[in-house]
A and B are shown apart, each in its own frame.
Chain A
Amino acid sequence: MTTTHHSEKTLLLNLLWACQDAKGFISNQDIFDIAAKLDVSAIEVEGVCTFYHFFHRKPAGKYIIYLNNSILSELKGYAAIRKALEQATGGHWGGVDATGQFGLFDTSCIGLSDQEPAMLINFYPFVKVTPERVFQLISALRAGASLAELADTVEDHLRYVPPGDRAIFFRDFAPGRALQRLTTLSPQQVIDEIREAHLLGMGGAFFPTADKWQICRNNPGEQHYLVCNADEGEPGTFKDRVLMNRLPELLIEGMIVGGYAIGAAEGIIYLRAEYRYLLPRLEAAIATYKQLGWLGQPTPAKESFTFDIRIQMGAGAYVCGEETALLDSLMGKRGEPWPKVFFPVERGYLGQPTSVNNVETLCAAARIIELGANKFRSLGTPGSPGTKLLSVAGDCRFPGIYEIEWGMTVGELLGFCGAEDPYFIQVSGPSGICVPAAEQSRCICHEDLLCGGSVMVFNTQRDLLQVMINFTEFFKKESCGVCTPCRAGNFILGRKLDLLKRGLARPADLEEIRQWGQLLGVASRCGLGKASAHALINAMQKFPAYFQQRVRAKGREKGFDLDRALGDYREAVEQTS
């Protein structure tokens, strides 16, 4: 296959977006046309199209409304908003109203956990929505008001930065300061500086960034690529949203630093579609650096370096936050994580050595070059130097972004965010772990409690099982579907949790949930699948008494609800007699 064929195929997501945006769905004819244009099977196009939930195969309305169904939205009024939307539009959930105007759909976390319930209408953000507001909005739209005018401005809610001169990200920023140093440093010196700073990948895997860049740089290829992972989809996290909104220039500088280090000619930002409203900010930042002479032309860096950045829009798939799934998505395919036979730094985008780095990692890299490794190293803990952005939300008075020095305790964080009567915090989202609020002295750092960015606070009124059921549903929907344990396993776990919820589970069921969850951890194909039952097993460990209370032992009979099982028959009989 030729390279041109490859690059054309990478357009697939954009071609699908063009159809989706033009008429609100992608028709059969569209599928055939695109297949003909790209010279591929129509079924391949359809396979890609149906992988992403923002692509619709049926008309989805002039106004497509996506209401976040993550646990925080659920706890802050999801049900009431959903009902109001159905009433106001006259439509049913999961479809379009009779007039074809309004489509009503669920979506996974949209990165607005600090202002729930939140929704997107044609990707314009609406936050802290109330039922009254829903009715106003729908009638305004019916009257022809413009979405751009109705939409909310998304607040950053930057709540905390380390005192003194100890902030890394949210300190004053002047464009070009980091880049200035590139005029005196060789790419190897840049990597050495990053290594000296001991920067770890902030997306959640915490792989040493310098190692990734070094291996990528050393691997031969026709071309090297730097990919910025701006697909933060872990429910509860929104730190990259704030970084890109507040400091898009810092991200661009980070990408230039990374691109220079690995010897890339092209950088790609893979932006989740949920953040489409940030596109103008990022495009403006890219334009700024074109003007400054750092993009799209030979740069003033010490060694010869020409670099450019483009943005690829995702289309709704949590799993694309996994780097290999993201690369497949970038290449116009279904976003399925690869079996780890080789790594992106060996064969990544278009088969070439590629470094995939998180938004926060790249921003940190720019700061390290600007401030020096020593400054970075002097902050945080020995295992995790520097600072970390936490997205804190849930049952606390001050939801928002906390730039903490690694090493802050759980108790301090709960104090700063004004946690009210906390029961537990969920650290790193549904694939993370559950930390009882009693564990105040746990230290957020590499040595103790790592956190990818999501911190969800739950108070003592919250039902742990409801939280776990929401997480399991999330994975059931968002699994890429390729491997048996993740695809079927989360479905099966959901059935078990339903038994628990209905009071029909027995002690043996708890043991099975634990064993099956562990099995998902052992047998799943990628890290996301392996982590999918993590929170559940962890919660069972931390709160055994809670789960014990929910089981009913009944001799050798199983929990079987006969009346419920007979309900369908009785109803059918009633209807005909």
Chain B
Amino acid sequence: MKKIVNFTIDGKPCQAPEGENLVKAAAANGIKIPSLCYYEHIDPPLGTCRVCMVKVDKKAFAACTIKAKEGMQVEFNVPELNDARKAMVEMMFAEGNHFCPACEKSGDCDLQGLGYRLGVTISRFPHLFLNRFIDYRPKRIVVEHNRCILCRRCVEEVNTKDGFPVFSFLNRGASTEVRVDYDQEAKLDEEEAIKAMHLCPTGAILVRGKTQPRPRGERKYDLQDAGQTVSTPKAGMAPLKGQPKKVIATTSLAGCFGCHMSLLDIDEELMDVIEVVDISKSPLTDIKKFNRRCDVGLIEGGCCNDENVEVLKAFRANCDILVAVGECAIWGGLPAMRNFVPLEECLNEAYGHATSDLEQGKVIPHHEDLPELLDRVYGCNEIVEIDYYIPGCPPDASHIWKVLKNILFGADYSIIKSEFKYD
């Protein structure tokens, strides 16, 4: 038996067998250090995702690369490290193309689960929108590179029965990617392929015909800590001063109006709301122009054309507080799927090839009354400052109203996990 050592995490006395991996040792002492690439029996540990940052004797380390040692002092739940861990998760969202509503793994994805746990409403980093591909060539699996976080689990763990690795990293630097050996992959049986799919912390490895998402509400991260509060920024704000009746405005830019639908999902409570809130410019009222200053503007959708930009700037100028409602407004969302394809190619696909039987050939619609398309879809905070972000596709109705009531009336503000979603 291994010697038991004593150490502390944030001052709390802990015990573990000497040399035990710190992530595991902490968990055994009731402290769950967030981690993604960590996989219990990979030794030496991968240490690739850098989410499990802690300080040991004042120096920063990934906890998964630390072994339990007598007397060591671990810092975990301190603002600097909480922020660093959150930043790592945000960086992975910015580096890859994570369209949660369109992902088979949504609800069961570890990256998404961590985003919920750490209260990530938006990535502080600009999305890179790199053009990654989907590899359909393997026999059993499909590799969705847009979702790959390069944690390296598959590279280390997925081998054929005769001992050949199936995956490897390719290239270097910002071009690093995971690739499949097609010959080796063909040797995997169905069970091994499914194991690889479950090993992947995101939805990057899928098995043909075997992705059967569970219904919403029954998935891993729907159930895990469902009733717990998500840490959210700017809680408990003082009520705005101004008119007795608060004025809000709403708009849908490059969105689908789904967020507006969600807004109406509070059903009969709407009756109470209109007692205290006036709605100015909004598709709900069909008021086209700002007729007075507004307390809050709710923005659905990102910016895909110059008209969106103009409207968004008008909202910034006429509203005290702007709230980005939904994934599209936050970072582009589903419309941003075009961001990896050059605009010319998109236009050719839509108006060139599709209308090639027309006599006049390819015509790209353009007229002074038509908005002009931007080179890509932009999140609202790339154009103007945004004060609040409400994630979801669409966001949960109660999440929207809780935030709104907090801003307008200073109502208590706490979002539980089931109201905090990216899909």
B53 x A523 contact (CB < 8 A)? yes
The residue that A46 contacts in the complex, of B45, B124, B170, B375, with Cβ under 8 A, is: B170
Smallest CB–CB gap between A325 and chain B, Å? Answer: 11
Is A302 located at the chain interface by the 8 A CB criterion?
no
B152 at the A interface (CB under 8 A): yes
- Chain A residues positioned under 8 Å from B46 (CB to CB): 339
Contact of A566 among B87, B181, B374 (CB under 8 A): B374
CB-CB < 8 A to A340: which residues of B? 65
B contact residues around A475 at 8 Å (CB)? 173
Shortest A196–chain B CB gap in Å is 30
Q: A477 within 8 Å of B by Cβ?
A: yes
Stretch binding the partner chain, chosen from A137-145, A360-368, A434-442, A479-487: A479-487
Q: Closest Cβ of chain B: how far from A249's Cβ, in Å?
A: 35
B98-127 vs A, Cβ < 8 Å mask (1 yes, 0 no)? 000000000000000000000000001110
Q: Are B88 and A556 in contact (CB under 8 A)?
A: no
Given contacts A339-B44, A481-B150, A492-B126, contact A43 B167 (CB under 8 A): yes
Q: Is A6 an interface residue (CB 8 A)?
A: no
Chain B residue with Cβ nearest A53: B172
Bound-state Cα–Cα, A105 to B80, Å: 42
User: For residue B71, which residues in chain A have a CB less than 8 angstroms away from its CB?
Assistant: none
* B residues near A519, Cβ cutoff 8 Å: 84, 87
B92 at the interface (CB under 8 A from A): yes
The segment from B200-208, B260-268, B275-283, B382-390 that touches chain A is B382-390
Q: Does A80 contact B (CB under 8 A)?
A: no
Q: Are A41 and B347 in contact (CB under 8 A)?
A: no
Say whether, besides A568-B343, A569-B372, A484 and B174 are in contact (CB < 8 Å).
no
A68 CB-CB contact with B under 8 Å: no
Instruction: Tell me the complex Cα distance, A483–B166, Å.
Output: 21
Closest to A479 in B: B173
Assess whether A557 is in contact with B50, with CB atoms less than 8 Å apart: no
Query: Given the interface contacts A557-B384, A566-B374, A568-B375, does A484 sit within 8 Å of B95 by beta carbon?
Result: yes
Find A317's partner among B88, B172, B364 (CB 8 Å cutoff). Answer: B172
Q: Is B372 touching A557 in the complex (CB atoms < 8 A)?
A: no
**Contact in complex: B174, A487 (CB < 8 Å):** yes
Verify B60–A523 contact, CB threshold 8 A.
yes
Tell me if B165 and A43 are in contact (CB < 8 A): yes
Residue of A nearest to B352 (CB): A576
Bound CA–CA A372/B50 (angstroms)? 46
Residues of A contacting B342 with CB < 8 Å? 568
Please give the distance in Å from A334's CB to the nearest CB on chain B.
6
Q: In the complex, A199 Cα to B49 Cα: how many Å?
A: 36
Q: Would you give the 0/1 interface string for B365-409, flagging 1 where the beta carbon is closer than 8 Å to chain A? A: 010000011111010011111000000000000000000000000
CB within 8 A of B181: which of A41, A560, A568? A41
How many Å lie between the Cα of A317 and that of B173 in the bound state?
Answer: 10
B374 touches A339 (CB 8 A): no
Residues of the A chain whose Cβ atoms lie less than 8 Å from the Cβ of B173 = 475-481, 487
With an 8 A cutoff between CB atoms, is B362 at the interface? Answer: yes
The answer on a CB contact under 8 Å between A479 and B174 is: yes
Residue on B nearest A556 in the bound complex, by CB: B385
Q: Which residue of A is nearest B95, CB measured? A: A488
Nearest opposing residue in chain A for B322, CB measure: A556
Given the known inter-chain contacts A339-B62, A477-B174, A490-B174, please indicate yes or no for A484 contacting B48, CB distance below 8 A.
yes
Contacts A50-B170, A558-B384: A484 and B344 contacting too (C-beta < 8 A)?
A: no
Cα A485 to Cα B309 in complex, Å, equals 32
Q: Is A570 an interface residue when CB atoms closer than 8 A count as contact? A: yes
Given A43-B179, A566-B306, does the pair A556, B384 have CB atoms closer than 8 Å? yes
Contact A524 B50, beta carbon cutoff 8 Å: yes
Q: Which of B125-141 contact A (CB under 8 A)?
A: 125-126, 128
Excluding A481-B150, A565-B375, A572-B344, 9 further A-B contacts by CB distance (< 8 Å) are A46-B168, A51-B172, A341-B45, A482-B176, A483-B49, A558-B383, A567-B375, A569-B347, A571-B344
In the A-B complex, the 10 residue pairs with the smallest Cβ-Cβ separation, listed nearest first, are A481-B176, A43-B181, A339-B47, A47-B168, A488-B95, A568-B343, A339-B65, A43-B168, A568-B375, A569-B373
